[in-house]
Chains A and B, each alone.
Chain A
Amino acid sequence: MTHSANPTYDELERAQALAWSPLTGALPAAGAADPVAPAQPWRFARRHARAAAALVLLLVLMFPFLWLVQLALRPENDVFSDELLFTPTLASFAGLLQGNFARSFGNSLLVSTLSTALSLAIGVPAAYALARWNFKARSQVALWILVTRMAPPIAFTIPFFLAYRWLGLQDTVIGLAIVYLTFNLAIVIWLMQTFFEAVPPAMEEAAYIDGCGVWQAFWRVTLPLAAPGLAATAVLCFVFSWNDFFYALILTRTEAITAPVAIVNFLQYEGWEWSRIAAAGTLVMAPVVVFTLVVRKWLVQGLTAGGLKD
């Protein structure tokens, strides 16, 4: 198989499609024909009955989620009323911005970004090496990664808690970002490996013949081709860090407190100001829901990492 030094657009596109295939293939494509469905006159009605059932089920299952959002938009004195109609207000959100919550939200952003950047910087070269280097310990490394994914956080928390007391990393953003590497690094190595495997090595060899070093070829040829996968992986790392509650609860006190811990403090110390609590919850889940909709195609593999046979 020969590849020119300048890969054509077609080849790039094929490599990209290949890079996405484990993810895009995981969900049925919209509008794909169902070869089993019999061509009967009432098929149309039945198909729509099914869609209707799905919609009703969706409404029932999403009801708890929607209830939280409407609570956040209610005026504070209206929280206990039974009226379903009300004038939505952003007052609760505005109240949050003035308090300490804004700071914990900033901490969450900072810690998630930092941890994502760190795990990508360390994990991406390793994933590339694992994808391209056919060495004996591959399956052991995969197992190690699986084990770190499965280990309960409490097993890591006690040693980290004790070590951080001693190192002075307790209640610091950097300390928390390091702890998040315990799960993020494994995710990066696991996911990026499959993305790199989908890029044909022949292209790097062509780049080498043109005088590129190994990492130069990686940087100029392979990484751009795997960029969508890289973006999806970054989003997943961010979301996993953002969602963490357990580590943040234990390893932070006041300075580096993250938004999920701040919500619990609302629940415990600030009485039952439901509209404010609901607004805080809505703010914390907003980035995650937005990301889910943006990268839902690629999300599938990250969420089932280690679960789906690949």
Chain B
Amino acid sequence: MSSQLMAAGWQAERRRAFLLGLAPSLLVLAVITLVPAVALLVASLTPLSLTDPLATFRFDDPLVNYRHLLEDKRFIDSVGTQLELSVSSVTLQVALGLGIALLLHGPSRLLAATRAAFLIPMVLPPIVVALIWKILYTPDISPLHRAAEALGVPFSSLIANPDTALWAISVADTWQWFPFTMLMVLAALQMVPQSPIEAARLDGANRWQVFRFIVLPHLRPVLVVCALFRLIDSFKAFPLIYVLTNGGPGTVTEVTNYYGFVQAFNFSYWGYASAIAMVILAGVFALAALVGRLGWNHHHDPQR
């Protein structure tokens, strides 16, 4: 009896304690994420800018920024550039990551050791990644340009050429992020059941058939989630563009995120930039909802 009472006291005390432990985090999260989100929405409804600081609370034409967005050719182009960059780099990095994961999935100790080294591009500070590619793309100093020159096929700077600049960034972004897909696929390969593979082998299936009809169907959901996660993150790509091309030449590499940055911190049109950020947020949430629809991140807990 007394132990039951004690258990009840324990439960009540635990609940109180947990509430106390949770409260600071929820409070801080609300202040640093919810409040800015609301502030962003409010700012996007005003013509707030550096030259017009009194406009903070002027709501006489709340949709002016959004209407302006639809007429702003530079914004519409930036969305196209964003899609081009995101789709090309995500496709490349998922393919490369899958290939390397398949190569590295094996029992050898050497393969296990190289797995960690392949992670390096993903953990490097993004600014260092940008610096590394700035060096590769700058003719004076680049080993690529020098090698091409020695072979008699010199080419001009890829980032200064409007036809290749976006691809140059896409390649750098692929280099930075293929390890993400590689990691996820390596983890998924661990969970591929072995018995159908053995059965297929006994029936005379070759390696390609085993991969195509048994392994790949198991990997497909992971690949889709990788692609969606990377697509969402690719909207944030900033240091590469900032350091390599600064949005140029002209505006050929100016993605939406970068255009928002230019509007907010070069021109100080904060209200208009907030509207751009709201559009990006909406895109991110639409993709995140898609991730949710695919049933990812449901918390499984066998103990409960």
| Residue positions of A touching B, CB distance < 8 A | 25-38, 47-48, 50-51, 53-55, 57-58, 61-65, 67-68, 71, 79-80, 82, 122-123, 125-126, 128-130, 132-134, 138-139, 142-144, 146-148, 150-163, 178-179, 181-182, 185-186, 189, 197, 205, 208-209, 213-215, 239, 242-243, 245-246, 249-250, 260, 263-264, 267, 272, 274, 277-278, 281, 284-285, 288-289, 291-293, 296, 299-300, 303-304, 306-310
When A161-B264, A245-B127 are in contact, do A306 and B24 touch as well, CB less than 8 Å? no
Q: Is the CB of A151 within 8 A of B119?
A: no
* Chain A neighbourhood of B285, CB < 8 A: 147
Q: Is the CB of A80 within 8 A of B141?
A: yes
Q: Is the CB of B28 within 8 A of A185?
A: yes
Q: Is the CB of B43 within 8 A of A130?
A: no
In the complex the two chains form, what is the Cα distance from A65 to B125 in whole Å?
12
In the complex the two chains form, what is the Cα distance from A29 to B35 in whole Å?
45
Interface range for B: 35 or more
**Residue among B32, B150, B198 with the highest chain A CB neighbour number at 10 A:** B32
B124 at the interface (CB under 8 A from A): yes
**Other A-B pairs beyond A155-B37, A214-B18, 8, CB < 8 Å:** A71-B135, A80-B141, A129-B18, A134-B304, A144-B29, A159-B39, A306-B297, A308-B184
In the complex the two chains form, what is the Cα distance from A215 to B29 in whole Å?
22
In the complex the two chains form, what is the Cα distance from A154 to B241 in whole Å?
15
Residue of A nearest to B268 (CB): A161
Residue of A nearest to B281 (CB): A155
When A61-B121, A126-B24, A267-B243 are in contact, do A79 and B141 touch as well, CB less than 8 Å? yes
| Residue positions of B touching A, CB distance < 8 A | 6, 10, 13-15, 17-22, 24-26, 28-29, 32-33, 35-37, 39-40, 43, 100, 103-128, 131-136, 140-141, 143, 146, 150, 175, 180, 183-184, 186-187, 189-190, 194, 197-198, 201, 225-226, 229, 232-233, 235-236, 238-239, 242-243, 257, 260-261, 264-265, 270, 273-274, 276-278, 280-281, 284-285, 288, 292, 296-301, 303-304
In the complex the two chains form, what is the Cα distance from A247 to B128 in whole Å?
16
In the complex the two chains form, what is the Cα distance from A68 to B128 in whole Å?
9
Q: Is the interface of B mostly helix, strand, loop or mixed?
A: helix
Q: Is the CB of B107 within 8 A of A37?
A: yes
* Chain A neighbourhood of B197, CB < 8 A: 36
Q: Is the CB of A61 within 8 A of B118?
A: yes
In the complex the two chains form, what is the Cα distance from A245 to B126 in whole Å?
8
Residue of B nearest to A285 (CB): B128
* Chain A neighbourhood of B109, CB < 8 A: 30-31
Q: Is the CB of B299 within 8 A of A129?
A: no
Q: Is the CB of B120 within 8 A of A65?
A: yes
Q: Is the CB of B123 within 8 A of A299?
A: yes
**Residue among B116, B131, B134, B297 with the highest chain A CB neighbour number at 10 A:** B131
Query: Which of A53, A264, A292, A299 has a CB less than 8 Å from the CB of B242?
Result: A264
